[in-house]
């Protein structure tokens, strides 16, 4: 069994390496869409499946390869926060999240030639109140780029967080518990890939 990761995320690659999973990367050309009107979980699942299906339809898969699509969005008060388009929008995201508890939603889609399975994860993250100076310093560090919600909990963004409830790896970008459940459904129990 080998995964084909339909993502350009270095965080997802690092998590798969930590787990000892064999994988290769084929970056998806799928255009993430939606505004979260159907809910953040459905949005994340739709984007994850779109990525996986696009790669499965284009890439040459070898026997035993499973395509993994993943998408992560941040949600607060009926609004979803994807990847900010620039520093100004990243600052708006952080100001909105400061001093509040938001939810990080991830959708996963795992497929081979004949089967497709999905899973979702949700983690609650509470931010400390953020001053204009703190937001400015974080933006200047540049870590907000290509990050749902404009922060990276595994880096400097950890200083913005006061509490987390749920799968930490989900906030980093790949919920491990949900992934393991999907792999089990495809006949690969935990650690049998080592």
156-185 pLDDT tens trace: 999 999 999 999 999 999 999 999 999 999
Report the pLDDT value the prediction gives residue 106, as an integer from 0 to 100: 96
Report the pLDDT value the prediction gives residue 186, as an integer from 0 to 100: 93
Kindly state the tokens that stand for 80.
Answer: 């979803």
Exposed/middle/buried for residue 40 (C-beta within 10 Å: 0-12, 13-18, 19+): buried
- What residues have CB less than 8 Å from 83, skipping those under 6 apart? 146, 147, 148, 150
Question: Is the CB of residue 18 less than 8 Å from the CB of residue 10?
Answer: no
pLDDT value at 36 more than 70: no
- In the three-class reduction of DSSP (H, G, I as helix; E, B as strand; rest coil), residue 90 is classed as helix
Report how far residue 168's alpha carbon sits from residue 152's, in angstroms, rounded to the nearest whole number: 11
Q: Which residues are catalytic?
A: 71
Q: Tell me which of 3.90.950.10, 3.40.50.1370, 3.30.43.10, 3.40.50.2300 is the CATH number of domain 2-185.
A: 3.90.950.10
43-101 pLDDT tens trace: 999 999 999 999 999 998 998 899 999 999 999 998 999 889 999 999 999 999 999 99
Exposed/middle/buried for residue 166 (C-beta within 10 Å: 0-12, 13-18, 19+): middle
For the chain, the domains span 2-185
Cite the beta strand spans of the chain per DSSP E.
2-5, 23-25, 65-76, 79-81, 101-111, 116-127, 161-165
């Amino acid at each position: 069994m080998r995964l084909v990761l339909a993502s350009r995320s270095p965080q997802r690659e690092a998590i798969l390496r930590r787990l000892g999973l064999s994988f290769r990367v084929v970056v998806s050309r799928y255009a993430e869409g939606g505004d979260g009107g159907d809910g953040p979980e459905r949005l994340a699942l739709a984007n994850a499946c779109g990525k996986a299906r696009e790669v499965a339809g284009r890439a040459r898969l070898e026997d035993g390869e499973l395509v993994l699509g993943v998408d992560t969005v941040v949600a607060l008060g009926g609004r979803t926060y994807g990847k900010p388009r620039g520093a100004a929008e990243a600052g708006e995201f952080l100001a909105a999240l400061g001093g509040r508890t938001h939810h990080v939603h991830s959708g996963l889609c795992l497929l081979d030639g004949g089967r497709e399975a999905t899973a979702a994860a949700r983690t609650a993250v509470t931010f400390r109140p953020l001053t204009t100076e703190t937001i400015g310093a974080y933006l200047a560090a540049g870590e907000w780029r290509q990050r749902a919600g404009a922060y990276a909990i595994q880096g400097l963004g950890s200083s913005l967080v006061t509490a987390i409830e749920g799968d930490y790896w989900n906030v980093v970008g790949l919920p491990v518990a949900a992934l393991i459940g999907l792999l089990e459904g495809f006949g690969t129990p935990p650690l049998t890939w080592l």
